[in-house]
Structure 1
Amino acid sequence: MLLPTMALAFAGSVLSPPPVLVPSPRDTAPRLVVLIIVDQFRPDHLLRYRAEWTGGFKRLLDEGMLFTDGRQDHAITQTGPGHSTVLSGRFPAHTGIVTNDFGVPDRLFPLIDDPKAVGASPHRFQGSALLDWMIARDSTTRMLSVAMKDRSAILPIGRARGEVYWWSKLGFFTTSRYYRDSLPSWVREWNQRNPMGDLVGRQWGLSKHEGAYLEADSLPAENGRDGRNTFPHALPRDLGTAAAMVPHFPWMDSLTLDLALTGVAALGLGIGDESRTDLLSVALSSTDEIGHDFGPDSRELHDMLLRLDGYLAWFLDSLAATTPRDRILLVLTSDHGTQAMPEQAPPTDGRAAGRAWPTAMVRGIATDLRDRWRTDFEIRFDYGIVTADLVALRSRGIDTDSLSRRLAARFQLEPYVDRVYTPRSLALAPQSDPIAGRWRHTVPDDFGWLVAVTPYEGITWDSWTVGANHGTPWLADVQVPLLFWGDGIKPRTVTRTVRTVDIAPTVARLIGAPPTEPLDGVVLPEVAGRTR
């Protein structure tokens, strides 16, 4: 499933033709590091449909080294924290990206040509990332990061300013004024092609005959954004509505890959100076949106992955036109896994699956304190953690340790709660407790929080009554694939547990760009060899 399939999907007018460039003679180092993050992608998704892959997934599995038990080894398994770990080699406790909300939103840096959207920057990201180590080795290093989501484009790169772009709900790719004051000509020209004009009203039908899908076409609690829970699905005919909805359709990922390839050619990534290694980061998020809407076991996600298999084949073929196969080092992983929809999930340890979102309870406690002290202490619940302005509380003589204990005791009364940590009890929790370890990997030392709550396995943090979600420290949410593909990497499947923080030190070893600070991750000897 190569370019002809893509052309059918886009009526032949959206995708760029593969650029034709003559590569430089080969030397021993990778010329281009490519990171592909498939959002909300579990290892079983990659393996479940293995017999059906004919494109990019097949090539990567046949020729690459797959770690089937990768872990986003922290407690709040959201997009922001997950993306922050992959090229930094450090847990969210050290990158400072604890949740999506405590991630990239930044009104000081509005978006170009989309002033009503919330601005974005990496101002909360702490420390360095792979790009910084590459620049330390060679100041001429070139980079490009493209994604549908702002946090997915920004966080793998760290704080460095550069070519970082994401999708505006107005129907084009943009960036924020943290990075530049105007879009470069190649992005403007891509936007001027107006790919959404070819997609409005388009139907998403099945890629294969209906009998090839074992999943039912409609399952409990599905939430199709077009108002349908069965195929076919369709984008609205209104351009503005379609542009905001296209992330919930497979085509968003093809648009992202197309902009990435356009940028590779425009910026000359992977070509030119033989001593230089460049970086391309691509985050694909349609799997996340479709997974939220229809769940990880749906016909829609199955078909989405079949299409992505074809998109990736076209992407790899197009890259080979600019950079030889043996000069590319590619890593594929995910920012988090996901849980089954509670309405479809079997019981865990005899306990029914379910949803919980205790904002009302936390809001009541916050309101009582605000009314008593006439001050908002910013007490909020967000995916298991209750945050607060500890300085403001302590300055008024409020014992925050006592407040944490009272709040923990209140949470323990909830039927969905497995365990609750206060800052003090987390520090004392045994090292053998993996859930405590994931919370330690999540919360920075200077972060203001009162309690960290873990629901029972099978309970999803969710304020919605439909759709699927992720965000807990349990295996379904933390488990992701790690796949390395490049010259000298032997095809192999490795079943031992590894972590996404191991990616950056491993890639750094392979390209000869030593990290400039201590890391949480380690070099994977299966990929990069053992230290002598």
Structure 2
Amino acid sequence: MFRKVAAALLLASCALPAVAQPPAAAPQAAPATPPHLIVAISVDQFSADLFSEYRQYYTGGLKRLTEEGAVFPRGYQSHAATETCPGHSTILTGSHPSRTGIIANTWFDLKTGRTDKAVYCAEDETQPGTDSGNYVASPVHLKVPTLGGRMKAANPATRVVSVAGKDRAAIMMGGPTADQVWWLNGPEGYVSYRGIAVPPLVAKVNQAVVARLAQPNPGFELPPQCAAKDFAVSIGAGKTVGTGRFARAAGDFKAFRASPEQDAMTLVLAAGAIDSMQLGRQAQTDIISIGLSATDYIGHTYGTEGTESCIQVDRLDRELGAFFDKLDRDGIDYEVVLTADHGGHDLPERHRENAMPMDQRVDEALTPKALTEAVGAKTGLAGRKLIWGDGPAGDLYFDVTLNAKQRAAVEAETLKILRAHPQVQAAFTKAEIAAAPSPSGPPESWSLLQEARASFDPQRSGDVLLLLKPRITPIVDPTKGYVATHGSPWDYDRRVPILFWRKGMRHFEQPLGVETVDILPTLAAQIGLSVPAGEIDGRCLDLTAGDGDSCAGK
């Protein structure tokens, strides 16, 4: 069975035309009983804009979700730090990063005894001999339980599985009590943080990864809807993007990872896990979370508006369709939720060619290194590393060895420089953010300070939060790495789709703003799981179109 699934999904990822599907059967009413399997999917960097741009072209899994399910096209990762780890931490916990403790992909602990002061969100930095780039993966920093953890606490028979292209996606959605957690670690395939023996299923998938990688990929056909995207954009130093087809040489793992091939393989593993563990085939409800990471790698590497991203969305739609069809053939009663950990913004070079001449790259003067030099010169503290940070945006940390007078001078000068810079929208101090009340109400109406408060942890957040103006890309030089990114407090990074589907449910669409933290209480109501309101930030979304309320009395 697994070989058939792998073959089908890998075929879906090859450059072949879509196979015509038979007409859909007449819809049946959704069961009143809880689903036997929850399938929670996060498509990394799948912004609400990207979802809507190609919506008319969906023919596979995304078509099913958008035409038969409950559609919330204006979902929000409502916090300010719209990065992968914080976003994934909200999806199945019902909580903002201020409660999950996952404030960023990386934060800084300047009091740690290790040389590397950076802390990766999914590492255990207490392990000897490790650093933020060579770490022992762990969920130790996640402060709250996931949906799977709550389900297992209520019924120990529940099976909880998490698979993803990235460790932080798998770990933050699966949580510390998951039965199986796997992510793509490199050319050798998928690994787990648990250190358990590799089961036969994962060994087979890893063999498939190795075999697939050993073969070159000639590239994918360009779907008709992508033809208008097919023009090169120069980003300097002889480098262009915008016309790619994902052709790669044999053995090129980096190209494999930033292509539709990665998501296809992750879905192979997910389908195999459902089979091998018999998920959804017992009396209780099981849950599998699936982190599809290719859209993010592609967005960073090529931007979000070229042929590369267009092809990726088309392949994602097809691969999800094959995956759902497989679950249907197996007769599993499952419920799907699909969302994203954050959105994304295309590279400014293409925006400037397409009616957005105001798009810019960030000024190098806003990098922590440049700020340290400028502040040091003004305060008489030159030669010391005064300011730490992960880049020219987000949390900035002051040297902890400064005395009170020195620290006050560094903070004052830093704020003066930042608040006078034409690319800076706001610079909030730690005290200002801590004093702000936790946000509530429609996420589209939150102020920047409220968004910052939703990302704030008093032990992990920086001394100053730097927020750039809209359409300022926080990458100084695109020729030395990624060309586009995310992480801003603006809607193009905050807005994501949230889609629910179960066979027989009545379709409806709600265009008003909801949050990813609403997913956990919504799914909990579907399975009759009680979650105290004071333990989470989200609210239950009624998935019953018309009369009735799926949240009532649950």
TM over 0.5: yes
Q: 1:320 to 1:284 in 2, by over 3 A?
A: same
Whole-angstrom distance in 1 between the partners of 2:340 and 2:149 = 22
The answer for the alignment partner of 1:304 in structure 2 is: 312
SS of the residue corresponding to residue 531 of structure 2 reads coil
Whole-angstrom distance in 2 between the partners of 1:270 and 1:222 = 51
User: 1:350-389 residue pairs with structure 2 within 5 A?
Assistant: 352-356=358-362, 358-359=366-367, 360-364=369-373, 379-382=388-391, 384-388=393-397
Query: Residues 62 and 491 of structure 1 are in contact (CA less than 8 Å); yes or no, is this contact kept in structure 2?
Result: yes
Query: Residues 38 and 284 of structure 1 are in contact (CA less than 8 Å); yes or no, is this contact kept in structure 2?
Result: yes
User: Taking every aligned residue pair, what percent have the same amino acid on both sides?
Assistant: 28
Query: Residues 75 and 441 of structure 1 are in contact (CA less than 8 Å); yes or no, is this contact kept in structure 2?
Result: yes
Q: Which of residues 415, 418, 428 is equivalent to 2:422? A: 415
TM-score normalised by the chain length of structure 2: 0.81
Query: Residues 221 and 343 of structure 1 are in contact (CA less than 8 Å); yes or no, is this contact kept in structure 2?
Result: yes
* Letter paired with 1:208: P
Q: 1:243 to 1:294 in 2, by over 3 A?
A: closer
Q: Which of residues 195, 198, 205 is equivalent to 2:220? A: 205
The answer for the alignment partner of 1:184 in structure 2 is: 199
In the TM superposition, what is the alpha-carbon distance from 1:522 to its structure 2 partner?
A: 0.8
- Aligned alpha-carbon RMSD (Å): 3.4
Structure 1 residues 102-125: Cα deviation after superposition (integer angstroms, max 9, x where no partner): 411336679xxxxx9533111111
The answer for the alignment partner of 2:71 in structure 1 is: 66
Structure 1 unmatched runs, 5+: 13-25, 111-115
Q: 1:524 to 1:252 in 2, by over 3 A?
A: same
In the TM superposition, what is the alpha-carbon distance from 1:368 to its structure 2 partner?
A: 7.5
In the TM superposition, what is the alpha-carbon distance from 1:183 to its structure 2 partner?
A: 1.8
Whole-angstrom distance in 2 between the partners of 1:447 and 1:253 = 32
Structure 1 residues 148-207: Cα deviation after superposition (integer angstroms, max 9, x where no partner): 11101110122224311111223311112xx23432232123223444446532121324
In the TM superposition, what is the alpha-carbon distance from 1:280 to its structure 2 partner?
A: 0.5
Is the deviation greater in 259-268 or in 426-435? 426-435
Structure 1 residues 385-442: Cα deviation after superposition (integer angstroms, max 9, x where no partner): 334378x447x44575664333211211222111111123335669775211110000
TM-score normalised by the chain length of structure 1: 0.85
Q: Which of residues 262, 265, 272 is equivalent to 1:262? A: 272
Whole-angstrom distance in 2 between the partners of 1:351 and 1:231 = 24
In the TM superposition, what is the alpha-carbon distance from 1:490 to its structure 2 partner?
A: 2.1
Query: Residues 362 and 379 of structure 1 are in contact (CA less than 8 Å); yes or no, is this contact kept in structure 2?
Result: no
In the TM superposition, what is the alpha-carbon distance from 1:371 to its structure 2 partner?
A: 9.9
Whole-angstrom distance in 2 between the partners of 1:80 and 1:213 = 34
Structure 2 unmatched runs, 5+: 17-30, 108-120, 440-444
Q: Which of residues 105, 108, 114 is equivalent to 2:123? A: 105
Q: Which of residues 444, 448, 458 is equivalent to 2:457? A: 444
Q: 1:197 to 1:61 in 2, by over 3 A?
A: closer
Whole-angstrom distance in 2 between the partners of 1:10 and 1:50 = 22
Whole-angstrom distance in 2 between the partners of 1:229 and 1:364 = 37
The answer for the alignment partner of 1:17 in structure 2 is: none
The answer for the alignment partner of 2:148 in structure 1 is: 131
Whole-angstrom distance in 2 between the partners of 1:92 and 1:522 = 16
SS of the residue corresponding to residue 470 of structure 2 reads coil
Count of residues in Structure 1 that have an aligned counterpart in Structure 2: 500
Query: Residues 506 and 522 of structure 1 are in contact (CA less than 8 Å); yes or no, is this contact kept in structure 2?
Result: yes
Whole-angstrom distance in 1 between the partners of 2:276 and 2:375 = 52
In the TM superposition, what is the alpha-carbon distance from 1:313 to its structure 2 partner?
A: 0.8
Query: Residues 387 and 398 of structure 2 are in contact (CA less than 8 Å); yes or no, is this contact kept in structure 1?
Result: yes
Query: Residues 223 and 229 of structure 1 are in contact (CA less than 8 Å); yes or no, is this contact kept in structure 2?
Result: no
SS of the residue corresponding to residue 487 of structure 2 reads coil
Whole-angstrom distance in 1 between the partners of 2:56 and 2:356 = 34
Q: Is 1:339 aligned to residue 357 of structure 2?
A: no
In the TM superposition, what is the alpha-carbon distance from 1:367 to its structure 2 partner?
A: 6.9
In the TM superposition, what is the alpha-carbon distance from 1:523 to its structure 2 partner?
A: 0.8
Q: 1:472 to 1:232 in 2, by over 3 A?
A: closer
Q: Which of residues 235, 256, 260 is equivalent to 1:221? A: 235
Q: Is 1:476 aligned to residue 492 of structure 2?
A: yes
* Letter paired with 1:299: T
User: 1:117-128 residue pairs with structure 2 within 5 A?
Assistant: 118-128=135-145
Q: 1:11 to 1:473 in 2, by over 3 A?
A: closer
Q: 1:406 to 1:68 in 2, by over 3 A?
A: same
Whole-angstrom distance in 1 between the partners of 2:385 and 2:302 = 38
SS of the residue corresponding to residue 379 of structure 1 reads strand
User: 1:477-492 residue pairs with structure 2 within 5 A?
Assistant: 477-487=493-503, 489-492=505-508
SS of the residue corresponding to residue 481 of structure 1 reads strand
User: 1:37-116 residue pairs with structure 2 within 5 A?
Assistant: 37-102=42-107, 103-106=121-124
SS of the residue corresponding to residue 449 of structure 1 reads coil
Whole-angstrom distance in 1 between the partners of 2:68 and 2:237 = 37
Whole-angstrom distance in 2 between the partners of 1:265 and 1:82 = 29
Query: Residues 162 and 178 of structure 2 are in contact (CA less than 8 Å); yes or no, is this contact kept in structure 1?
Result: no
Q: Is 1:493 aligned to residue 502 of structure 2?
A: no
Q: 1:164 to 1:526 in 2, by over 3 A?
A: same
Whole-angstrom distance in 2 between the partners of 1:122 and 1:153 = 10
Q: 1:197 to 1:299 in 2, by over 3 A?
A: closer
Q: Is 1:290 aligned to residue 304 of structure 2?
A: no
Q: 1:515 to 1:464 in 2, by over 3 A?
A: farther
Structure 1 residues 48-72: Cα deviation after superposition (integer angstroms, max 9, x where no partner): 2223211111111111111011110
In the TM superposition, what is the alpha-carbon distance from 1:287 to its structure 2 partner?
A: 0.8
SS of the residue corresponding to residue 203 of structure 1 reads coil
Query: Residues 371 and 387 of structure 2 are in contact (CA less than 8 Å); yes or no, is this contact kept in structure 1?
Result: no
Query: Residues 133 and 514 of structure 1 are in contact (CA less than 8 Å); yes or no, is this contact kept in structure 2?
Result: no
The answer for the alignment partner of 2:164 in structure 1 is: 147
Q: Is 1:234 aligned to residue 239 of structure 2?
A: no
Whole-angstrom distance in 2 between the partners of 1:185 and 1:368 = 60
Whole-angstrom distance in 2 between the partners of 1:280 and 1:123 = 20
In the TM superposition, what is the alpha-carbon distance from 1:300 to its structure 2 partner?
A: 1.3
